[in-house]
Amino acid sequence: MRSKTSHSFKNEELEPNFKPSMKTLLCILKTMADSGSEGKTCLAHDANLNYARLAKHIVWLEKKDLVELILNESKIDVSLTDKG
């Protein structure tokens, strides 16, 4: 049986001068819209992005309430919110 609980990185600090790339954000959101909820590693692969770059953008998207992180057994899935 799968355990799904909400998980948040909203309290994580981004680099003070972090400005997300619109191209990267669109790539992430399009990949998520096409593929649905998936782990960050799979999402990085599917979006053809470096994992570290993806992770920074995911934190930014979560702070804007566009995505949510769901703890699913031993991995964290990223899912679009209604706002996203």
pLDDT of residue 75: 84
Q: pLDDT > 70: what percent of the chain?
A: 83
C-alpha dihedral sign at 29, 34, 37, 41: negative
Domains and CATH numbers, the chain: 20-80 (1.10.10.10)
pLDDT of residue 11: 56
User: Is the pLDDT score of 3 beyond 60?
Assistant: no
pLDDT of residue 21: 92
Cα distances (angstroms) measured from residue 52 to each of 31, 71, 83? 17, 19, 24
Q: What is the mean pLDDT of residues 38-63?
A: 93
pLDDT band at 13 (very low <50, low <70, confident <90, very high): low
Cα(36)–Cα(80) distance, integer angstroms: 8
